[in-house]
Amino acid sequence: MIKKLQKAFSERFNKEPMIIGAPGRVNLIGEHTDYNNGFVLPGAVDKRIYVAIAPNNTDKVNVFANQFNESYSFSINVSEPHQGWMNYLLGVSYHIQQKGKKIGGVDVIIDGDIPVGAGMSSSAALCSGFGFALNELFQLGLSRMELALIGQKTEHTFVGLKCGIMDQFASLHGKAGHVMKLDCRSLEYEYIPFNFPGHKIVLVNSMVSHSLASSEYNVRRQQCEEGIAILQKHYPNVTSLRDIEPAQLLQHKEELPPIVFDRCSYVVYEKERLLKGCEALTNNDLATFGKMMFATHEGLSKKYSVSCTELDFLAEFAQQIPGVVGARMMGGGFGGCTINIVQAEAVEPFTQKIQAAFNGLFKQTPEVYVTQIEDGVKIIS
């Protein structure tokens, strides 16, 4: 892909590009906890968005997106969203400049192998890769965390998705062989080795393409905020669900609308699962970790209502396949992938069984990705 990209770039723009690789992410546990100021446990994966880029000494950004076979040009002075994938680039270029940084025009080709809409954060990878590329080209001196926050702001203001920080953080801070326990309030993080050579992280694509912005994602966030506003009457110092213990929530159950109670209850138990899960990982106890994953799926499906029939089927069916340690839907939901931890020798039969069963029911073969945890955004050439 890199050679192809270099060739395409010199044919289109008549010069040599710098190429940045920006990975998608998996999240082992801690879903919908980032915007509740809680913890997450993501890692960067071996699927990437590639940004081939070179300055053009104008004030124009000229982009060609190979996967969509679409091109687009915009002035670096644009401050309004437009539409589709270009909003990620417009937003990043705008928010970098809002920080007082000076950039110039660039020629860009975007390509990649992160399946779009599969819940592996191709959009966060795009923002992270483009931001990183501008930072390098124009020597802006922005830190990886600042670039992650710029990507998140772009989602909020140019795309309309009130996401947390997990995806952008993971794409920029990933480290091969490690997951990252990120405290989404303080933005402090630690690397935890994911060193289980006998096991693989396997994603199964439900083939339901999610559209988070037009989906219920923002509604979930509002429901959590509604819960907090009620609980704050009793706990004035509490600013997010991260600070609420299950017993405190139960004590005030009757004051919360039932749906808000369910949403909050998922989040406060997910925090506990994540902490137990991290402890289990550090003790090399994958079996306990897997149990937490199954419980997370149950919560996401029944209490947080962000699953769908296909994802429920994949998570429940996986549970019955020998060699599967844990399985659950991953990411924002309403489609995308499940994440499964599977014994290495069981990956092949697992793949065959789950594809056949899914196909029997939904008349479509789900794609299966056996992933590796890799480094975050970097210069490839």
Per CB under 6 A, which region of 11-19, 27-35, 81-89, 247-255 contacts ligand GAF? Answer: 27-35
C-beta of 19 vs 180, nearer to ligand GAF? 180
Site string for ligand GAF, 130-169 (x = CB under 6 A): ---------------------------------xx-xx--
| CB of 124 vs ligand GAF, minimal distance in Å | 7
Burial annotation 316-346 (CB, 10 A radius, 16+ → b, else e): ebbbebebbbbbbbbbbbbbbbbbbbbbeeb
| CB of 241 vs ligand GAF, minimal distance in Å | 13
Beta-bridge mates of residue 73: 62
C-beta of 166 vs 278, nearer to ligand GAF? 166
C-beta of 110 vs 267, nearer to ligand GAF? 267
DSSP 269-319: HHHHHHHHHHHHHHTT-HHHHHHHHHHHHHIIIIIS----HHHHHHHHHHH
| CB of 33 vs ligand GAF, minimal distance in Å | 7
| CB of 144 vs ligand GAF, minimal distance in Å | 17
List binders of ligand GAF among 163-222 (CB under 6 A).
163-164, 166-167
Q: Which residue has the tokens 């795009």?
A: 126
Site string for ligand GAF, 113-132 (x = CB under 6 A): --------x-----------
Does residue 32 bind ligand GAF (CB under 6 A)? yes
Cβ(143)–Cβ(48) below 8 Å: no
Pick one of 17, 38, 174, 331: the residue that binds ligand GAF (CB under 6 A).
331
167 is catalytic: yes
Which position among 34, 111, 167, 262 bears the catalytic label? 167
Query: Which bin fits 16, alpha (ψ -120 to 50), beta or left (φ > 0)?
Result: beta
**Can you read off the two tokens belonging to residue 356?**
């056949």
Q: How far, in Å, are 46, 208, 222 from residue 112 at the CA level?
A: 11, 20, 33
Q: How far, in Å, are 249, 325, 357 from residue 200 at the CA level?
A: 37, 10, 21
Per CB under 6 A, which region of 30-38, 55-63, 142-150, 363-371 contacts ligand GAF? Answer: 30-38
Does residue 270 bind ligand GAF (CB under 6 A)? no
First to last CA, the chain: 12
Q: How far, in Å, are 155, 192, 313, 327, 356 from residue 346 at the CA level?
A: 38, 25, 19, 14, 15
| CB of 341 vs ligand GAF, minimal distance in Å | 18
As to burial, measured by CB atoms within 10 angstroms (0-12 exposed, 13-18 middle, 19+ buried), residue 287 is exposed
| CB of 270 vs ligand GAF, minimal distance in Å | 9
Pick one of 31, 146, 262, 312: the residue that binds ligand GAF (CB under 6 A).
31
In the complex, the residues that contact ligand GAF under the rule CB under 6 A are 31-32, 34-35, 121, 163-164, 166-167, 331-332
List residues with catalytic annotation: 167
